[in-house]
Amino acid sequence: MGVYDVEGLRVEVVEGDITEADVEAITNAANTDLWMGSGVAGAIKRKGGEEIEREAVAKGPIAVGSAVETGAGALAHRHVIHGAVMGQDLKTSAELISGTTASCLELADRLGMRSLALPAFGTGVGGFAIAECAGLMVAAVTEFAGGRANLRRVVLVLFGQGTCEQFDQAAQTAWGT
C-alpha cells in the first residue's frame, strides 16, 4: 500500500504472503519454545520445510521478547528470524509486541541483513488488536531507524486487506504519505 522513508530506512506496507517477500530475512511470530504451529509459523514451516522448526527448537527456549535466527530451508531467504512475541500460554501484550519488534530489527541489523519482512505480531493466535499492534510496531521501527548500521529496507507483510489498511493508516500517521 504505502512506502515511507524513516530516517533513510525504506519501510513498505504490503498485503501478502511473508514467505514470498523479496527480502533477505523473514520474521516468524514465535513462542518461547520456538515450535511452529499455525499462522505465520505454519506457513513458513510448510513452504520452507521441517528443518526450520528443528533448528529453531534446538535454540530454544528463549526469553519472551527476544529473537534468534535460523536458516531458511527451502525458502529463498538467507534467514528466518524467530521473535518470541508470546510464551507457552500463547498470549501477548503491548510491551511484548514492542520489544519483540525491536529485537527482530536489531538481530537482522547485527546479522548484516539489508532487508527484513515482519508480520503483524500477536494478532492471530495471540488475539491482539490489529490497530494497536500497528501503532506499536510502527513506533518500534521509528525508534530503531536512527541507530541502524546495515538494515535499509523493512517490509511489513500483512495478511488481509483490513490488516494492511490499519497498518498503512498507522504508518501514514507516524511518517506522512
Copy the grid coordinates of residue 59.
535454540
pLDDT at 88: 83
Q: What is the pLDDT of residue 177?
A: 66
**Domains, the chain, ordered by start:** 2-175 (3.40.220.10)
With helix as H, strand as E and coil as C, how does 32-90 read? CCCCCCCHHHHHHHHHHCHHHHHHHHHHCCCCCCCEEEECCCCCCCCEEEEEEEECCCC
CB count within 10 Å of CB 106 equals 15
Mean pLDDT by 10 residues, the chain (177 residues): 94 97 97 91 95 97 97 97 92 96 98 97 91 98 93 96 96 91
What 8-state DSSP symbol labels residue 91?
A: -
Q: How far apart, in Å, are the Cα atoms of 20 and each of 3, 134, 155, 177? A: 18, 21, 12, 25
Please tell me the pTM assigned to this model: 0.96
